[in-house]
Structure 1
């Protein structure tokens, strides 16, 4: 089953030769709105990290924050970093894109309440998925060792192996969305039980 017609139309107007990343913001904003209902999630363009507020690396291109009402707490559950499609063939551009994802995990880790935070590097329509496990503090996939004496491809192009507009890529993205929603439901259920338990005394 393809994306709705308005998403397909937005994608069709974007060129693979585009060099400006914000041309793709509209496409991803529309997809995120489609997947994460406003009754449960807040989609925050340019979610400001501590680094951005103090003059450090800029804000995340799109971050989704889930408000857990019973705890009166905002928790990031997913974020997307967007780059133009012309960055995909460039070893250095892919390395920068992946390093940006890993940096974001570090900036968001103290805010995370779900067991696993997903981050996506979107280079045009091609996606590479990353996860931060809250319990162990680990990031997958594991970073490849760089070198100061030779050129090492630490962000292989094969990592961007799904196209979000193709059926396989859409299915994978929606599977991640459903996993995120299930984590949020579990967290809400646990917090509700704890609240009920505490108020029973």
Structure 2
């Protein structure tokens, strides 16, 4: 279960809050599971979004090498298919940029719209590996939009989303054991 302090942080945020209101909650969440005492650093990375705002991606580094990315987006934009596509493209691009530096077998990512989560992974040992889940063609059909929307099938405040998050944390920590 999430620590009570983190749970309260997420629960105190309005459903229509902008992404910046989630940044502290995700930062605290990541730091509590990836403490600096264990050779992890959580660092923000800023990218421009479609409206000239900034998308924040938190990168979890192990010995200054990327192992996990969390992209935080405005919760209300989840309803917009172009915002989901844009967010999906951004995290895929960032994972592609970082995978060559990942010291573990898998580079993990999460794209969040508020507390709704889509999980990503990329085999860091295979130069020809594709990001999972596979990218959806940019044809903008109702079917492709529904498929993309369904990928945000977890919520950090629900048991299934928390379990998936914990599984990634445990995999990364197990990979860290090979370095110490």
Q: TM-score range by the shorter chain?
A: 0.7 to 0.9
Matched, 1:183 2:179: no
Matched, 1:6 2:2: no
Map 1:64-143; keep pairs closer than 5 Å.
64-67=60-63, 74-136=64-126, 137-143=129-135
What is the CA-CA distance between 1:89 and the residue it aligns to?
1.2
Residues paired across the two proteins, number? 171
1:199 aligned partner = none
Distance 2:116 2:133 in 1: 17
**Closer, same or farther in 2 for the Cα pair 1:154/1:105, shift >3 Å?**
farther
1:95/1:154 contact within 8 Å kept: no
What is the CA-CA distance between 1:110 and the residue it aligns to?
2.5
Distance 1:154 1:81 in 2: 21
2:42 aligned partner = 43
SS in 2 for 1:77: strand
2:26 aligned partner = 28
What is the CA-CA distance between 1:66 and the residue it aligns to?
0.5
Runs of 4+ in 1 over 4 A off after TM superposition: none
- Normalised by the size of structure 2, how large is the TM-score? 0.86
Distance 1:82 1:103 in 2: 15
Q: CA RMSD in A?
A: 2.2
5+ long unaligned stretches in structure 2: 49-53
5+ long unaligned stretches in structure 1: 53-57, 68-73, 190-201
Distance 2:105 2:150 in 1: 27
